[in-house]
């Protein structure tokens, strides 16, 4: 429709055109909604959150090994810090007052870390004949 045709229309004719456009748009929107819902149902049947090869994707965080605390608050021994992430307030305050981080280190008591063994690495041991006996 040309711009000049719209400008020459009466108010009633424009209102009728407006209602006709609304009806057409409503029908097209309903058809699009139906098409999208059908597509969503198909995706749900395939398993949302799966790769193209059909394997499920897990959004859960991977498990991390337990980290033992390395530092503790001498005033309140239940407050500890493993040395990861942001420093706790009690430690930051103590460090600002001039103390050193090593002043709060927990002495290794029971939970020492084992060194990771490298696969395929062998240690050389002296043979029986070369040992002093």
pLDDT of amino acid 6:
86
Same domain, 9 and 42: yes
Domain membership of residue 82 as a residue range: 71-104
Rg, the chain, Cα only: 36
12: in domain:
yes
Residue with tokens 């309903």: 30
- Mean pLDDT, residues 34-57: 77
State the pTM of this model: 0.38
92: in domain:
yes
28: in domain:
yes
51: in domain:
no
127: in domain:
no
54: in domain:
no
24: in domain:
yes
Asked whether the predicted pLDDT for residue 92 surpasses 60, the reply is: yes
133: in domain:
no
- Number of folded domains that form the chain: 2
The full length of the chain comes to: 133
The SS3 call for residue 6 is helix
pLDDT in tens, 1-29: 677 788 899 999 999 999 999 999 999 99
Look at 130 and 93; give whichever has higher pLDDT.
Answer: 93
């Amino acid at each position: 429709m040309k711009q000049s045709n719209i400008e020459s229309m009466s108010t009633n004719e424009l209102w009728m055109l407006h209602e006709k456009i609304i009806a057409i748009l409503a029908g097209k929107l309903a058809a699009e909604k139906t098409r999208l819902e059908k597509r969503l149902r198909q995706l749900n049947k395939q398993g949302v959150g799966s790769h193209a090869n059909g394997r499920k994707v897990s959004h859960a965080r991977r498990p991390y090994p337990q980290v033992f605390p390395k530092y503790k608050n001498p005033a309140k021994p239940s407050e500890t810090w493993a040395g990861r992430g942001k420093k706790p307030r009690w430690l930051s305050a103590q460090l600002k007052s001039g103390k050193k981080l090593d002043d709060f280190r927990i002495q290794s008591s029971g939970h020492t870390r084992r060194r990771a063994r490298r696969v395929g690495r062998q240690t050389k041991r002296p043979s029986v004949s070369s040992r002093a006996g």
